[in-house]
Amino acid sequence: MSDPIKKFVDVFSSLPGIGPRQATRLAFYLKNLGTNNIQEISDAIVGLNYLKTCSECFSTHYQNQPQRKIGAPTEASEKTNADNLCSTCSNTQRNKGLIAIVEKETDLISLEKTKKFNGRYLILGDLKKDGVLDSVQKLRLNSLKRSIKRDLSGQAEEIIIAINPTTYGDINANLMLHELKDYAKKISRLGRGIPTGGEIEFADEDTLGGALDNRN
């Protein structure tokens, strides 16, 4: 194989669900698409460099910052913090006292599609099956606690633990319930419109909407 193909295979075979054989096939498939299509795909990948992590909910969002001239004064830290917020967290029309904790950004996207949730989110990250939160997840929960103290006088209206209804999801949900019991007037979970063992990401909008309506 030529060096560009080898490099492509080395990089893409490390991605989830793609092994060396699939990466090789993909390389030749893309090569045969032609220069314009390859450039479009390349631009889409480069665009990922401009994604930022929201300082409030830890979701990924696009931040198009203009180039600052050399020697120009830096902005105040308050403005910088505001720029780090995603469109959901910066939306003043959202109910900041209503918070949904999800594992993945795809879960957030699925819940948003129901158009039945007008609060904000916390993306915790993929939960382990041993029922123990890792250091990053603990930091994110602590960040949520701080924001509740800062913005909501110490208590949110409701925290929805929107975790997949699996065995280890239930274990982690109980752990979070203990961690957050003093930070919300009500803590709920999605209704069991989602079958046990199911995943939020793959649930249809009607099922997710029912789970939101019937949370307890």
H-helix segments, the chain: 3-12, 20-31, 35-46, 77-83, 105-113, 135-151, 167-180, 205-213
User: Residue 99 pLDDT > 80, yes or no?
Assistant: yes
Q: Which of 35-49, 85-99, 168-182, 183-197 has the lowest mean pLDDT?
A: 183-197
In what side-by-side order are the strands of the sheet with 98-102? 120-123, 98-102, 158-161, 187-189
Give me the mean pLDDT over the 129-152 stretch: 91
How high does pLDDT run on average in the chain?
A: 86
How is residue 113 written in tokens?
């599609």
Going from N- to C-terminal start, the domains of the chain cover: 3-48, 91-213
The 3-state DSSP class for residue 211 equals: helix
The 3-state DSSP class for residue 82 equals: helix
pTM: 0.73
Q: Which residue has the tokens 């909910």?
A: 57
What does the pLDDT read at residue 75? 45
Q: What is the 3-state secondary structure (H, E, C) of 86-145?
A: CCCCCCCCCCCCEEEEECCHHHHHHHHHCCCCCCEEEECCCCCCCCCCCHHHHHHHHHHH
User: Residue 81 pLDDT > 60, yes or no?
Assistant: no
Residue 190: which pLDDT band, with cuts at 50, 70 and 90?
confident
User: Residue 96 pLDDT > 80, yes or no?
Assistant: yes
Q: Which CATH superfamily is domain 3-48 in?
A: RecR Domain 1 (1.10.8.420)
How is domain 91-213 classified at the CATH fold level? Answer: Dna Topoisomerase Vi A Subunit; Chain: A, domain 2 (3.40.1360)
